[in-house]
Structure 1
Amino acid sequence: MANTGVPFQVPMLTKSNYDNWSLRMVALLGAHDVWEVVEKGHTEPENVESLSQAQKDSLRDSRKRDKKALCLIYQGLDEDTFEKISGVKTAKEAWEKLKISYKGADQVKKVRLQTLRGEFEALHMKEGELVSDYFSRVLTVTNNLKRNGEKLDEFPTHKQPTTLPSSFPYLKIGSE
Structure 2
Amino acid sequence: MDRASGSIAHPPYFDGNNYGAWKAKMKSFLWSLDERVWSTVVHGFPKPTKKIGKGDEETTILKAREEWTTAEVTHSTNNQKGLNALFTAVSSDQFEYISGCDTSKEAWDILQVTHEGTDTVKGAKLQMHTLQFETLMMDENETFSEFYAKLCVIVNACSSLGEKIPEDRVAKKILRSLPQRFQPKITAIEEIRDLNTLKVQELIGSVT
Q: Report the TM-score when normalising by structure 2.
A: 0.66
Contact 2:21 2:160 in 1 (8 A): no
Mapping of residues 134-173 of structure 1, within 5 Å = 134-150=147-163, 152=165, 160-171=174-185
1:119 aligns with 2:119: no
How far residue 158 of structure 1 moved from its aligned partner, in angstroms, is 5.5
Q: Which protein is bigger by CA-based radius of gyration?
A: 2
Q: Could you list the per-position Cα deviations for residues 49-68 of structure 1 after superposition, in whole angstroms to 9, with x for gaps in the alignment?
A: 7836xx1x444333332222
Match of 1:42 in 2: 45
Q: CA, structure 1 residues 14+127, in 2 after alignment: closer, same or farther (shift >3 Å)?
A: farther
Contact 2:133 2:151 in 1 (8 A): yes
Identify which of 86, 102, 105 aligns with 2:115: 102
Select the residue among 71, 96, 111 that pairs with 2:84: 71
What's the counterpart of residue 3 of structure 1? none
Question: By how many angstroms is 1:44 displaced?
Answer: 2.0
Is 1:132 equivalent to 2:145 in the alignment? yes
Cα distance change, pair 47–8 in 1 and its aligned pair in 2 (3 A): closer
Alignment coverage as a number of residue pairs: 168
Q: Any unmatched runs of 5+ in structure 2? A: 1-6, 49-61, 191-208
| C-alpha distance in structure 2 between counterparts of 1:21 and 1:66, whole Å | 20
Query: Secondary structure of 1:167's match?
Result: helix
AA in 2 matched with 1:32: L
Does the 8 Å contact 2:24/2:160 carry over to 1? no
In structure 2, the partner of 1:11 is 12
Q: Does 1:84 align with 2:118?
A: no
Let me know the Cα RMSD of the aligned residues. Answer: 3.0
Name the CA distance, whole Å, in 2 between partners of 1:50 and 1:11: 35
Identity of aligned residues (%): 28
Q: Secondary structure at the match of 1:161?
A: helix
Q: CA deviation at 1:20?
A: 2.1
Superposed displacement of residue 97, structure 1 = 1.1
TM-score, structure 1 as length reference: 0.76
Quote how far apart the aligned CAs of 1:95 are.
Answer: 0.8
Q: Counterparts of 1:19 and 1:72 in 2: how far apart (Å)? A: 17
In the TM superposition, what is the alpha-carbon distance from 1:77 to its structure 2 partner?
A: 0.9
C-alpha distance in 1, partners of 2:67/2:143? Answer: 64
